[in-house]
């Protein structure tokens, strides 16, 4: 019997719709080859939702997400909505999905692809062989901490946020970090700012406590500023990096850029019940609608979906291999193009990948 998966599709803004369409083209092939069926339900999110409904995350969209096995997400945001207050911005749609669906763990793998080594800003000898995973806590920290706000005190404007973690939040992400490391190279780097912040001191204590159950996994602690530096100097030494929401936001962009293009980087955000798959790059409004965006990050996010939600690791691996082959054969979108390779658009890139499946 055919397995059926309900997929909520939220293309969002900018290049979101193009890269999502291209990815669905690849999923169509997967569904034929692996005897699965994907039932797609589309929802509005971000600026597109603001324009139609006034809300970056309409009730209807949230409902579609809650009835799904997985959510495939494009990107949100754009200049048009940049002047709205924080609470009404497209990004708020994304943040609310994370919170409402309790997607506490964000997996952001960054891998150096052999054919793209010269796209990295780092020397080939430094970047070759990099294969790391940033595991970012996604529903806590200064992103959601209260109190937060802007006000006037004694005639002066102040803005403030609260960096806060609860023990259970640290415990569950630490546990997942060790579990994931066991399936990789057995090493966890926990990143914090324990030399300055109380919340980090507590984070570190709890990670150490959880580690007692995973003594087979190597654990090191690193301050976030040092981590930012070591990622550039010796990225190969990292396996799983586990960290809080704000440090993870920053470190994951850095880790991503190491490998050459943000256009290559997938992510998965998972909780107890729901799973959400999204490329790391944003909505790239400057190239939206031109059909030139790189769909690989979204296609690889769909591969993570096949692995984690659909329990089809073989299909996931096949997509990764097809992506590698396509790059090997010289096909490039403009963001990763170099002299001597073949420039293709969003759909042709997806087509080439699909053909190699
Ligand atoms: C990310 C993005 C988001 C974040 C924005 C768009 C709210 O930068 O997913 O890394 O800060 O988490
Ligand atoms: Mg970010």
pLDDT tens track, the chain, 357 positions: 789 999 999 999 999 999 999 999 999 999 999 999 999 999 999 999 999 999 999 999 999 999 999 999 999 999 999 999 988 999 999 999 999 999 999 999 999 998 899 888 899 999 999 999 999 999 999 999 999 999 999 999 999 999 999 999 999 999 999 999 999 999 999 999 999 999 999 999 999 999 999 999 999 999 999 999 999 999 999 999 999 999 999 999 899 888 877 889 999 999 999 999 999 989 999 999 999 999 999 999 999 999 999 999 999 999 999 999 999 999 999 999 989 999 999 999 999 999 999
* 180 pocket-lining for ligand 1 (C-beta < 6 Å): no
Specify the DSSP element, H or E, that contains 202.
helix 198-211
249 a catalytic residue? yes
Which residue's alpha carbon is at the smallest distance from atom 2 of ligand 1? 249
> Tens of pLDDT along 73-126?
999 999 999 999 988 999 999 999 999 999 999 999 999 998 899 888 899 999
DSSP, residue by residue, 72-126: EEEE---GGGTTS-GGGSHHHHHHHHHHHTT--EEEEEEE--GGGGGGSSS-HHH
Question: Token pair 């329990």 is at which residue?
Answer: 311
**Amino acid 161: pLDDT:** 98
**Amino acid 212: pLDDT:** 98
Ligand that comes closest to the CA of residue 245: 1
Q: Which residues surround ligand 2, an ion (CB under 5 A)?
A: 249
* 231 pocket-lining for ligand 1 (C-beta < 6 Å): no
**Amino acid 42: pLDDT:** 98
CATH architecture assigned to 146-244: 3-Layer(aba) Sandwich (3.40)
Q: For residue 147, is the peptide bond before it cis, meaning its omega torsion is within 30 degrees of 0?
A: yes
Report the atom number in ligand 1 closest to the C-alpha of 98: 12
* 103 pocket-lining for ligand 1 (C-beta < 6 Å): no
Q: How far is the CA of 281 from the centre of ligand 2 (A)?
A: 8
* 254 pocket-lining for ligand 1 (C-beta < 6 Å): no
Q: How far is the CA of 60 from the centre of ligand 2 (A)?
A: 26
**Amino acid 241: pLDDT:** 98
* 13 pocket-lining for ligand 1 (C-beta < 6 Å): no
Q: How far is the CA of 247 from the centre of ligand 2 (A)?
A: 10
- CB of 306 closer than 8 Å to CB of 67: no
**Rounded Cα gap, residues 321 and 327, in angstroms:** 10
**Rounded Cα gap, residues 62 and 70, in angstroms:** 12
> Tens of pLDDT along 54-70?
999 999 999 999 999 99
**Amino acid 334: pLDDT:** 94
β strands within the chain, DSSP E:
3-12, 36-42, 70-75, 105-111, 131-137, 149-153, 156-160, 187-192, 218-223, 240-243, 268-270, 275-277, 331-332, 342-343
* 21 pocket-lining for ligand 1 (C-beta < 6 Å): no
**Rounded Cα gap, residues 30 and 5, in angstroms:** 13
Start-end of CATH 3.40.50.2300 domains in the chain: 146-244
**Amino acid 260: pLDDT:** 78
**Amino acid 344: pLDDT:** 98
**Amino acid 343: pLDDT:** 97
Which residue's alpha carbon is at the smallest distance from atom 12 of ligand 1? 249
**Amino acid 200: pLDDT:** 98
**Rounded Cα gap, residues 21 and 288, in angstroms:** 13
Pocket test for ligand 1, best of 45, 95, 265 (most atoms within 8 A of CB): 95
1-116+258-357, CATH topology level: Isopropylmalate Dehydrogenase (3.40.718)
225 a catalytic residue? yes
64 exposure class (CB count in 10 Å sphere: 0-12, 13-18, 19+): buried
**Amino acid 96: pLDDT:** 94
Start-end of CATH 3.40.718.10 domains in the chain: 1-116+258-357
**Amino acid 86: pLDDT:** 85
């Amino acid at each position: 019997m055919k397995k059926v998966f309900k997929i909520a599709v939220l293309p969002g803004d900018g290049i979101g719709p193009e890269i999502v369409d291209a990815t669905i083209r690849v999923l169509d092939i997967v569904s034929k080859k692996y005897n699965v069926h994907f039932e797609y339900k589309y929802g509005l999110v971000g600026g597109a939702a603001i324009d139609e409904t006034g809300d970056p995350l309409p009730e209807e969209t949230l409902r579609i997400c809650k009835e799904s096995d997985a959510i495939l997400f494009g990107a949100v945001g754009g200049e048009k909505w940049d002047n709205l207050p924080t609470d009404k911005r497209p990004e708020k749609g994304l943040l609310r999905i994370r919170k409402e669906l309790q997607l506490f763990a964000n997996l952001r793998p960054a891998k150096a692809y052999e054919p793209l080594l010269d796209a990295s800003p780092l020397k080939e000898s430094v970047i070759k062989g990099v294969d790391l995973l940033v595991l970012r806590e996604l529903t806590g920290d200064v992103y959601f901490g209260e109190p937060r706000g802007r006000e006037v005190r004694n005639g002066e404007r102040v803005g403030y946020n609260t960096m806060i973690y609860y023990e259970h939040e640290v415990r569950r992400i630490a546990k997942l970090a060790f579990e994931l490391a066991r399936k990789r190279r057995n090493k966890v780097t926990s990143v914090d700012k324990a030399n300055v912040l109380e919340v980090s001191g507590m984070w570190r204590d709890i990670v150490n406590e959880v580690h007692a159950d995973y003594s087979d996994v190597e654990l090191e602690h690193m301050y976030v500023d040092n981590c930012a530096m070591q990622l550039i100097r010796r990225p190969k030494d990292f396996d799983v990096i586990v960290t809080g929401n704000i440090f993870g936001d920053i470190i994951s962009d850095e880790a991503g850029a190491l490998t050459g293009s943000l256009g290559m980087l997938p992510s998965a955000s998972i909780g107890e019940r729901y799973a959400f798959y999204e490329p790391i790059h944003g909505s790239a409004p400057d190239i939206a609608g031109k059909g030139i965006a790189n769909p690989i990050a979204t296609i690889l996010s769909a591969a993570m979906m096949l692995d984690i939600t659909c329990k089809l690791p073989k299909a996931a691996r096949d997509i990764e291999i097809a992506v590698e082959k396509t790059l090997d054969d010289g096909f490039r979108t403009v963001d990763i193009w170099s002299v001597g390779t073949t420039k293709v658009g969003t759909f042709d890139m997806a087509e080439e990948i699909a053909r190699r499946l």
